[in-house]
Amino acid sequence: MRSLAFLAVLLVVSISSTAATPQHKGRKGFSLEAAKNSNSKPDFVREWVAAHQKWGKAVSPETLSAFSLLDDDGRVDVKPLGADEIYIADVKVGTPPQTLKMALDTGSADLWVQSTDTIYRANPEVDGTHADGIVYLDTVRLGDFELKNTAIQSAQIVAPRFERETELTGILGLAKSLPSNIDPPTPSLLDKLRPLLDDSVFTVDMRRNATGRFDFGYIDESRAKDNISWMATREDSPHWDVTFDTTAWAGLRQVWMAHTFEATIDTGTTLLFLPGDLASMYWYDVPDMRVDPRLGDSFTFPCKFSNDLPDLMFKVPGTEHILKIPGPYLSYSTTDNDSDYCWGGLQSAESLGVTIIGDIALKALYVAFDLENNKVGFANKDLDDIDEW
């Protein structure tokens, strides 16, 4: 986990009451369903800052001050506003079980909850091996699965308003093999869950402005529009890192760009960050595009083109399988200083230092994570909110 600070910047959705119902009788697996927050309000600036904090890149005090993102003590004040970019699930934690709302994040490994003095009450008969009052061993229940002696960390530095404003309690990390912050090291939740599953896989089917679903232990191929293409992850990386080498978009000229880059698949980051030259070439195909120097030359464009933005396409290496992100998905929200201009959901990764395939793109795809072979599979899917898709 690169930074705890990002916990306080997650933009979340509320979970349905059927959040942890086992699927396919007789199969060792379960599903977590999530629905958007009806009071959602995207905030590009906070999401941009959140990504930089999560991935260890400092944001200048001048930038934070310009957008009023510093509190009275000079700390970064990036509070969640409830957009539909991060999905949360009802997870039963503790003995007796207490239902907590957890963000599902493939970019981190730990299970975090807010401070025990306000949210999570650990069972003193179970949590005898805590460290400095912030790590507990207790039972986590997911569907019909009961994971005993799971390490649960108490994020005591999270502001009290975090729970009040979002109803989000913490985070459930689903990274490939990211080392835990716990000392001494303990198995991650995925480490404990994996041997219990029928198949060592989980899948992500996020939806823009609609219900999404995370399946564990099986792949529901009916949720994919075409075949799943599998890509190996980098062996020495703890993240779900894959390599793309060909990109295109349906703009003024559709030319496949031969550009190799490694990208982290992260459900805990909202925006899509691509190599700077690719991001620049994409937006320079959009009439009257502008960059905002206040935020690392972030790309903005006339909102009137939101539904006409070029579709973004990635070719799975070694195949002719094309993954498509519809152009309208790459329009994020209006800018703070010009209501006629919108922030792009696709931005340059130059200031971030790492390429991230975040929820802006993932909501257009069906994504599978193979825990046994350390691979990520991608397929296109039917998108009800896009005509003729």
174-193 pLDDT, tens per residue? 999 865 555 666 788 898 89
Asked if residue 268 and residue 202 are part of one domain, the reply reads no
Closest of 98, 107, 69, 109 to residue 169, by C-alpha: 98
pTM for the full model? 0.84
What's residue 225's pLDDT? 96
Separation CA 159–CA 169 (nearest Å): 11
Separation of CA 212 from chain center: 13
Looking at the chain, the whole-number percentage of residues with pLDDT higher than 70 is: 74
Asked if the structure places residue 385 within a domain, the reply is no
What's residue 40's pLDDT? 58
Asked if residue 131 and residue 55 are part of one domain, the reply reads yes
* Final residue in a domain of this structure, among 179, 195, 216: 216
The helix/strand/coil state of 355 is strand
Asked if residue 57 and residue 12 are part of one domain, the reply reads yes
CB 272 within 8 A of CB 356: yes
What's residue 303's pLDDT? 98
Tell me, what CATH number does 365's domain have? 2.40.70.10
Closest of 172, 132, 150, 133 to residue 94, by C-alpha: 150
Asked if residue 234 and residue 331 are part of one domain, the reply reads yes
**Domain of 133?**
5-216
Residue position matching structure tokens 């957008």: 67
Asked if residue 175 and residue 259 are part of one domain, the reply reads no
Asked if the structure places residue 51 within a domain, the reply is yes
Six-digit token pair at 116? 């025990």
Asked if residue 364 and residue 297 are part of one domain, the reply reads yes
Asked if residue 230 and residue 129 are part of one domain, the reply reads no
The helix/strand/coil state of 190 is helix
Question: Hey, how many other C-beta atoms are within 10 angstroms of the C-beta on 74?
Answer: 10
Asked if residue 355 and residue 275 are part of one domain, the reply reads yes
The per-residue pLDDT for range 123-175, each reduced to its tens digit, is 444 332 222 337 788 899 988 888 998 888 876 555 444 444 456 778 889 99
Q: Could you tell me how many residues make up the chain?
A: 389
Asked if the structure places residue 386 within a domain, the reply is no
Asked if residue 291 and residue 185 are part of one domain, the reply reads no
Asked if residue 296 and residue 151 are part of one domain, the reply reads no
Asked if residue 234 and residue 192 are part of one domain, the reply reads no
Separation CA 199–CA 258 (nearest Å): 35
Asked if residue 152 and residue 253 are part of one domain, the reply reads no
Asked if the structure places residue 240 within a domain, the reply is yes
* Final residue in a domain of this structure, among 216, 240, 256: 216
What's residue 102's pLDDT? 82
Is 384 exposed, middle or buried, given 0-12, 13-18 or 19+ CB atoms closer than 10 A? exposed
Separation CA 26–CA 198 (nearest Å): 10
Residues of the chain with pLDDT under 70: 1-27, 35-40, 66, 68-86, 114-133, 155-167, 178-185, 251-253, 388-389
What's residue 256's pLDDT? 92
* Final residue in a domain of this structure, among 216, 244, 271: 216
Asked if the structure places residue 388 within a domain, the reply is no
The alpha-carbon radius of gyration of the chain (Å, integer) is 20
Separation CA 136–CA 129 (nearest Å): 6
What's residue 201's pLDDT? 97
